[in-house]
Amino acid sequence: MSREVRVRFAPSPTGALHIGGVRTALYNYLFAKKMGGKFLLRIEDTDQTRFVPGAEEYIKESLEWLGISPVESPWNPGDCGPYRQSERKAMYMQYALDLVEKGHAYYAFDTSEELEAMRERLTAARVVSPQYNSITRTQMKNSLTLPAEEVKARLASGEPYVIRVKIPRNEEVRLNDMIRGWVLVHSSTLDDKVLMKSDGMPTYHLANIVDDHLMTITHVIRGEEWLPSAPLHVLLYRFFGWEDTMPTFAHLPLLLKPDGNGKLSKRDGDKLGFPVFPLNWVDPFSGEKASGFREGGYLPDAFLNFLAFLGWNPGDERELFTLDELVEAFSVERIGKSGTKFDIAKAKWYNEQYLRTKPNSELVDFLTADAKAEGLEVPGDKVEAILNLVKGRVTFPADLWRESKFLISAPTEFDQDVAAKKWNADAAKLLGDYATALDVFEEAFDAATAKSLLESTAESAGIKLGKVMQAVRLAVTGMGGGPDLMEVFAILGTSEVAKRIRFALNTLTIVA
RNA sequence: GGUCGGUUCGUCUAGGGGUUAGGACGUAUCCCUUUCACGGAUAAAACACGGGUUCGAUUCCCGUACCGACUACCA
């Protein structure tokens, strides 16, 4: 009687999806794939006041970027649609009424002022946690306290009301979380949560239970912030009579701020000096911008790998995993319990690893596009050599061009510090000789021949190469550091090297 | 405050009644390199505290401390 595994990612379209949400989506995806099940997405937009245009597209694009798209979603519906709760609005009321009929829920007519007054009263009476519960509901305006006729009249008159769950007074609620084990909570600490709001929309609590049931969700994998309301959800499954198909819960550890404490939040934006969102985002209301990992130069597979390891590990010492390998290695049992601080240095390291192992064919576009942006072109026959020379030195794709620009565009100025320290008569003499030698050099000019020619030139001039190498580099690249110089020479070719040397000879003045 | 959850190097973590407590990032040093990186090697660096249980506890139990989440007609 084992059912097909079906898990869902259920974000609210209230803005950009932050990295914690992305990780939740990833774990859901991995679990579904691992179990040979399905990963679906449901938009939880029951709070119409918090709807943000563009947020849904943002979620879709983020998952697509990472290659973890759901098989059922608002934009690719399966048999359990609609996949937006706002579009399912009509179906919730009957379930709420069912609960009222069964005596597990009731109408409440209290205004927000009355609720506020109740909380103040309780606070003044030093009640530890003022809430609408089995005790206080006896003093409020609801279908439990009001005469049946009055309730009927109020309802008929169109007076606004909510439907609240009637939490039993004295019951032990247990749930077996896949990550945390048994969690016990006493019903007396729960409150009579609103199930249907006065605008006719369900709250999260009702909607997620009804939808998960209707969508035959088998496992609910979500953030730890939901753990406190999980007992309520268990109770609701019981009240509906759906206990035998209740999904198994797994509450993921939170993603914490890298410094100090607290969970990583959307508002952390760029304040931390790195992105907390997958993609760039501009808030349509405030115009506030937040940068994304994608635009920040993180490769999707590297980012995914990094994300997977935030709270999970394979149990052995492997670190680098493709998506398929993650699926293969994944298990909920290996997800940790404690909160995870977000460490951007590790994310960079992953990016470097992926960049280095990527075939050049996947890197070419980064290089040529950046070059083009500056009006320069990388000759096709040099691309391969340039990439090989430079890709071990970069963290982001954009570094590729920054590190190799000097190979395409000759220096027009020289690093002053290096010039002051290293430029001297010996260097100038050697370079002059070398340029002359290059003029008549006809063999294939690779790194090895560039080197032996330089060595023999130095020998005839009676100059120690080691003393002038920095100056040679400076003359040809304008800089004091960079990739292997002889490889650079080989890429540049004899005439370009000679040309650059002569320019340097004419430009740099000997101080010492 | 209350409820719930958590606590192994700075960070991510492995481990689990007897271990030199392992790996990775980061840091430092060395090697490689006629530079800077890459790479390789080495080093410093952790079981929050107090009680039990036990021959033995970092591991199991209890308490304390600390951290966090939740405590809306938000999700």
Nucleotide nearest to A258 (CA to C1'): B11
Task: Quickly tell me which residue has 């059922």 as its tokens.
Answer: A72
Which nucleotides of strand B come closer than 7 angstroms to any CB of the protein? 1-8, 10-15, 22-26, 33-38, 67-75
pLDDT band at A509 (very low <50, low <70, confident <90, very high): confident
pLDDT at A70: 98
CA-based R_g, chain A, Å: 33
Q: How far apart are CA A334 and CA A414, in angstroms?
A: 54
Which nucleotide lies closest to A317 by the C1' atom and the CA atom? B23
ipTM of the complex: 0.95
Can you tell me the mean pLDDT for A60-78? 98
Q: Is the CB of A474 under 7 A from strand B?
A: no
How distant is C1' of B71 from CA of A218, in Å?
A: 28
pLDDT value at position A511? 64
Q: Which of residues 70-109 of A touch strand B (CB under 7 A)?
A: none
In angstroms, how far is B67 C1' from A504 CA? 60
- Whether the Cβ atoms of residue A495 and residue A422 lie closer than 8 Å to each other: no
Q: Which of A 377-436 have CB under 7 A of nucleic chain B?
A: 392-393
Share of chain A above pLDDT 90, in %: 87
* Residues of A involved in catalysis: 266
Distances (CA, A) of A203 to A20, A45, A208: 22, 10, 8
Between CA A381 and CA A258 the distance in angstroms is: 44
Contact flag, residue A310 CB and nucleic strand B, below 7 A: yes
Of the candidates A399, A407, A412, the residue with the CA atom closest to the CA atom of residue A383: A407
Q: Which of A270, A273, A267, A232 is nearest to A249 (CA)?
A: A232
A78: closest CA among A189, A214, A204? A214
Q: What average pLDDT does chain A have?
A: 94
Which tokens is A339 given?
A: 């909160």
SS3 A407: helix
- Rounded to whole angstroms, the distance from the CA of residue A328 to the C1' of nucleotide B3 is 38
What 3-state DSSP class applies to A146? coil
Residues A472-491 have pLDDT tens digits of: 999 999 998 899 999 999 99
- For residue range A332-356, list pLDDT tens digits in order: 999 999 999 988 999 999 999 999 9
A512, pLDDT greater than 70: no
Residue % of chain A over a pLDDT of 70:
99
In chain A, the largest separation of any two C-alpha atoms, in whole Å, equals 114
The pLDDT of A240-256, averaged and rounded, is 96
Confidence of residue A436 (pLDDT cuts 50, 70, 90): very high
> pLDDT-derived band of residue A266, with 50, 70 and 90 as boundaries?
confident
pLDDT in tens, A275-334: 999 999 999 999 989 999 999 999 999 999 999 999 999 999 999 999 999 999 999 999
| Per-residue confidence (pLDDT) for residue A269, from 0 to 100 | 62
Query: A385: how many CB neighbours lie within 10 A of its CB?
Result: 17
pLDDT of A324 reads: 97
pLDDT for the residue A404: 95
Q: What is the pLDDT of residue A53?
A: 95
The pair of three-digit structure tokens given for residue A481, joined into one six-digit string: 């550091």
| Measured distance CA(A276)–CA(A264) in Å, rounded | 8
Calpha distance A215→A209 (Å, rounded) = 10
pLDDT of A206 higher than 90: yes
User: Nearest nucleotide by C1' from A196 CA?
Assistant: B73
- Distance in Å from B21's C1' to A350's CA comes to 27
The mean per-residue pLDDT over the stretch A420-445 comes to: 91
In the predicted structure, residue A365 carries a pLDDT above the cut 70: yes
What CA–CA distance (Å, rounded) separates A285 from A340? 31
Check residue A260 and give its pLDDT.
Answer: 62
Q: Which nucleotide is nearest to A403 (CA to C1')?
A: B37
Tens digit of each residue's pLDDT (9 = 90 or more) over A404-418: 999 999 999 999 888
